[in-house]
Structure 1
Amino acid sequence: MRKKRKAIYAILAATLLGSMIAGCAGGKSEGTQGTEGTADNGGGEKTEARTLKIMAGVIGGKTPEENGLFEKEIERLTGITVKLEKPASDYDKKLLAAVSSGEKFDLLQISKEKMNTFIEQGILTPLTDKVKGSETLSDPNVIPSEEWAQVETKDGEIYGVFTKYQGGTMPIVRNDWLKKLGLPEPKTLDDYYTVLKAFVEQDPDGNGKKDTYGLSTAGMYELQGFFSAAGLKQRYVEKDGKLDVPYSTDAAIPIYEWLAKLYKEGILDPNFATNDTGKMRDLFLTDRVGMITYWDAWVGMLNNTRKEQDPNTEFEAKGLPGAVGPDGNHMLRRGDPDVWVIPVNAENPETAFEFIEWWHSKDGIILGSLGIKDHDYTEQNGKYELTQTGKEHAMDHGVPFWYNKNVEPPFGKLPGVQEAQDLLAKYASLELTPPRWADAEKIINEYSFKAIMGQMPAADAVKKCGKS
């Protein structure tokens, strides 16, 4: 798998390098169209076309049709003509396939992990000087100065600019079920077991059937709140100059055994290993499970979704700090940021950077959050009102939260979000995500699943992870 992945990246890098050379080699006579993506202004000076080709995973419309409206809205607000490609699924695979086939993009929305990989392959444009020279991006009120450390390389270069403020993950509980069953918020791992078991056995949805689970996850996705009980962080940590994966150490064994107990007793959703995040959320929204592990922003979006369906609902999602650790503290995860990057073969890099700056302006933030004017919201004299479509979209077109302190949320924050963010501010920290984390993650997931599903003793699974 690693050899195959390296081969793909090598092809991708070579393709992009070839595109650069080809782009520089083709000359045109004066006064005609210059190299693709530029035009001669009559004085011999090349100016970029105000067009952009963008590929994004979550930024844009909620449907292909709405994506077209999103493109038109960008053009209305910026004068830039945009072609936005937003795959419905398997974003990373389609991104790699498109770029390695020679397809050119001016902007890509990617994860920090993917950015690190692309930096290694030499296929991204360094943006350090542009960021430092940008009146917008160098303003600490737009992006706090200390945040740039998240995306800087060891030599201080910047290749990616934040697409949004990235929150963090935590256990999210049906707080209305806690109240209904008279249960306190769990603090220790034993408390969590008691609560999750009650969600299975005490009919929290009130339908007279034993048809609820205590916990559902999307595989090993965001279990930091439980591994907190052992003081273990997800992904890599640096120890004595070496990289270590805490989930693959002996200290993790009791947590795997705890999860295996949940699975054996029918408290953990039996489909956890094959769930995607959508299936996990649906179980939570349809009264099938009492707790999931997910992002802080979704506390508000889950509450908003049920409220839109039924204004009188008692449904209440609430973020929790996870299980208390041996030092008496909690350990949550601050997510790696998503970033805008400009490939080295971008045809309109100056226009792309102009767009990045605009994305952090009020107009860009309103588009990325509320959405499209007269479709998701209406505005008159500075007063905003969401349409029914906008309410369903929960003010998230890729930017549920942002850094810019000069832009206030027009409707405040969705229910439960501020409390969740307060927990993250108190307990969450960033994680180290080297370029090839995905390779290690597959191995960890493989043996973690075996331990949780009782196919292998937890101690043996941990040893397998450590040797791989």
Structure 2
Amino acid sequence: MLGKFRKPSAFVISFALFASLFAGCSPNSAKDAGSQQKSDDAPLASIPLPIVDKPLTLTMFVSMDPKVAATMKNYNEIAAFKELEKRTGIHIDFIHPAAMDSAGIKEQFNLMVASGDLPDMIYYNWINDFNGGPNKAIKDGVILPLNDLVDKYAPNIKAFMNSDPKANKQMRTDDGTIYVFPESQSPNQYAKVNPNPNPAFQTFGWQIRQDWLEKLNLASPKTIDDWYEVLTAFKTKNPSGSGKNDEIPLAPKGAGDLQNWIRAWGINYGWYHEDGKVKFGPYTPEYKDALTTLAKWYKEGLIDPDFAITDAKQFDAKVMGNRAGAWTGATSGTFGRFVQLMKAKDPNVKLLGTVPPYVKGTKSYNFNIDEIKVASGGGVAISGKSKHAKEAAMWLDYGYSPEGGLLNTFGIEGESYQMVNGSPQLLPVITNNPKGLSIDEALSQYSRGSGGLAFIMTPEIWHQRMSLPEQQKIIGLWKEGSYDRTMPPGVTPTIEESTRMASILSAVNTYKDEQFLKFVMGQTPLSEFDNYMKSMKSMGIEDAIKIQQAAYDRYMARK
């Protein structure tokens, strides 16, 4: 789960420009809304406020964002949702699964579906995590097709889709079914805040102790060979100055962070394509080369020996304890937070990023594009059991109006932001929180502007969440990787394909994850790689590749 920014002025667009996209789509007051109310037979021209004459409670299943969990126990505590209740007359009873990891969330979701006791709205990844995909979820009555609801009761998201053909394509299945209200960041809006012709923003990548590089007179690493030299120096030359040689050259937060490194060989730890040919990274010859290098690094002590069991708290302790030399993470929640906290302890600390690593003689690749979040199939769907689908659609649609988008993104005017020359600007309580919260943690007390749920993000937020000079530099470095091999968003297999795919990948993913650890840690020698490939084939990975290829081809053929 972003682009190269050249100067602050590139980010500052007037709210009026954003609002012009939805001119006439959303009133500013209940009084204005009254004149816009339509009968059930005609589509709404705007969302009436309040939406209901009498208070109404709707329920929503949504996993708890760790940035919210840092200070709150439930999304009902977020200021934006309190304000939304005042404006709309609708209270949302948020149902958070106890687990916060993907496996635990999926387990609790499945139990909920099996029980048949469904809330009005469900935030979930319908492409990747629902067996059979979104069309199967609709067929089973778990969620509703949204086409008619959007046409009649969601004028703002309809205007958004009509204004942006790319978004319109991403928000549907192959047969044209709309199934989800996504968190949206339109490429058209990106163009207003990002002068780079590539509309993608990059919010994830490689981070390094720049002060350690300077102390050892080393250049920022680019190739895998460069990285080997740097990590070896971090291990042997005590750049922290502790006198203990206790540095952790490369400190992944779990196996997932280390798996990102296979991208240096031009492959992804999952799906990607090469000139339109779909491939699965852990089932390629290049994967063996990647494992060989990572196993060598692990054996030589360049990788944290405890990486596989390192949780977020332990990871923070290693970085903040002046022991970690390099890691991967997000621009804001990881990098920005460490910059602020570590410099407060020691102003001599310098953090920066590197270009996505690559093998000498090849080029750097990116496999993350943060564009419209329906890209991954995630978003809020309306349950097939809801007795208030109309009201749910209207409540969700308000987030795609300028006013609703601003509220969901920036929070409360005068409390979390103020308007300056027509542009929302975060206040110091967010950007320099007196309790030491990161920007995203502080913002999460007021809004979902740090990511999640269903609305259009007001685009100025990107600049302000990543306003540190170090963040501006790191985004530019990460952006140097090519996006040529990234799978496009919204690829949806058919019900039959998705069911078959889920059956195959259930075994394949478990096996590849287990073997990744064993290969890297030396528990399984690389001489066994051919047997690994044979096992993957016997599990049906080639059938899964064919399915994904067919889905990709259909997506590319969508109009």
Could you tell me which residue of structure 1 aligns to residue 385 of structure 2? Answer: 345
Distance 2:350 2:88 in 1: 41
Distance 1:276 1:459 in 2: 31
Displacement after TM superposition at 1:274 (Å): 2.3
Could you tell me which residue of structure 2 aligns to residue 427 of structure 1? Answer: 482
Q: Which residues of structure 1 form unaligned runs of 5+?
A: 1-45
How big is each residue's C-alpha offset from its partner over 1:421-445, in whole Å with a ceiling of 9 and x where there is no partner?
Answer: 4434852433668652454322210
- Are 1:50 and 2:56 counterparts? yes
Could you tell me which residue of structure 1 aligns to residue 156 of structure 2? Answer: 136
Displacement after TM superposition at 1:149 (Å): 3.7
Tell me the amino acid that sits aligned with residue 113 of structure 1. Answer: N
Could you tell me which residue of structure 2 aligns to residue 93 of structure 1? Answer: 107
Displacement after TM superposition at 1:253 (Å): 0.7
Change (3 A) 1:274 1:379: same
Could you tell me which residue of structure 2 aligns to residue 74 of structure 1? Answer: 84
Tell me the amino acid that sits aligned with residue 127 of structure 1. Answer: L
Tell me the amino acid that sits aligned with residue 400 of structure 1. Answer: S
Could you tell me which residue of structure 2 aligns to residue 254 of structure 1? Answer: 289
Could you tell me which residue of structure 1 aligns to residue 166 of structure 2? Answer: 146
1:160 pairs, out of 180, 194, 205, with: 180
Change (3 A) 1:106 1:255: same
Displacement after TM superposition at 1:257 (Å): 0.8
Displacement after TM superposition at 1:321 (Å): 1.9
- Are 1:408 and 2:460 counterparts? yes
Distance 1:129 1:405 in 2: 24
Distance 1:406 1:293 in 2: 27
- Are 1:125 and 2:164 counterparts? no
How big is each residue's C-alpha offset from its partner over 1:302-360, in whole Å with a ceiling of 9 and x where there is no partner?
Answer: 34551685484624242532225754343433365431222211232222222322334
> Is the 1:331–1:427 contact (alpha carbons within 8 Å) kept by the matching residues of 2?
yes
Distance 2:480 2:87 in 1: 34
Could you tell me which residue of structure 1 aligns to residue 8 of structure 2? Answer: none
Change (3 A) 1:215 1:139: farther
**Percent identity between the aligned chains?**
22
Change (3 A) 1:119 1:290: farther
Tell me the amino acid that sits aligned with residue 449 of structure 2. Answer: V
Change (3 A) 1:280 1:325: farther
> Is the 1:126–1:158 contact (alpha carbons within 8 Å) kept by the matching residues of 2?
yes
Displacement after TM superposition at 1:267 (Å): 1.1
Displacement after TM superposition at 1:271 (Å): 1.7
How big is each residue's C-alpha offset from its partner over 1:125-182, in whole Å with a ceiling of 9 and x where there is no partner?
Answer: 1224545674422445998431444443222322123225595542222333323332
2:513 pairs, out of 400, 421, 445, with: 445
Structure 1 SS opposite 2:289? helix
Q: Please, what TM-score do these two structures have when normalized by structure 2?
A: 0.64
Displacement after TM superposition at 1:203 (Å): 2.0
Distance 1:269 1:393 in 2: 26
Q: Which residues of structure 2 form unaligned runs of 5+?
A: 1-51, 186-200, 540-559
Structure 1 SS opposite 2:84? helix
> Is the 1:230–1:325 contact (alpha carbons within 8 Å) kept by the matching residues of 2?
no
Structure 2 SS opposite 1:356? helix
Tell me the amino acid that sits aligned with residue 265 of structure 2. Answer: A
Distance 2:464 2:398 in 1: 22
Change (3 A) 1:201 1:456: same
Structure 1 SS opposite 2:122? strand
Structure 2 SS opposite 1:137? helix
Distance 2:83 2:524 in 1: 54
Could you tell me which residue of structure 1 aligns to residue 538 of structure 2? Answer: 467
1:113 pairs, out of 115, 128, 135, with: 128
Q: Point out the structure with the larger helix share.
A: 2
> Is the 2:410–2:417 contact (alpha carbons within 8 Å) kept by the matching residues of 1?
no
How big is each residue's C-alpha offset from its partner over 1:236-255, in whole Å with a ceiling of 9 and x where there is no partner?
Answer: 34689996422122221111
Could you tell me which residue of structure 1 aligns to residue 427 of structure 2? Answer: 385
> Is the 2:120–2:386 contact (alpha carbons within 8 Å) kept by the matching residues of 1?
yes
How big is each residue's C-alpha offset from its partner over 1:346-398, in whole Å with a ceiling of 9 and x where there is no partner?
Answer: 23222222232233445544555555678x73658866424236861423534
Could you tell me which residue of structure 2 aligns to residue 330 of structure 1? Answer: 365
Change (3 A) 1:259 1:117: same
Size of the aligned set, in residue pairs, is 422
**More divergent stretch after superposition (324-333 vs 103-112):** 324-333
Distance 1:308 1:80 in 2: 44
> Is the 1:55–1:86 contact (alpha carbons within 8 Å) kept by the matching residues of 2?
yes
Could you tell me which residue of structure 2 aligns to residue 355 of structure 1? Answer: 395
Question: For residues 357-372 of structure 1, what are the structure 2 equivalents within 5 Å?
Answer: 357-362=397-402, 364-365=404-405, 368-370=408-410
Tell me the amino acid that sits aligned with residue 125 of structure 1. Answer: L
Structure 2 SS opposite 1:333? coil
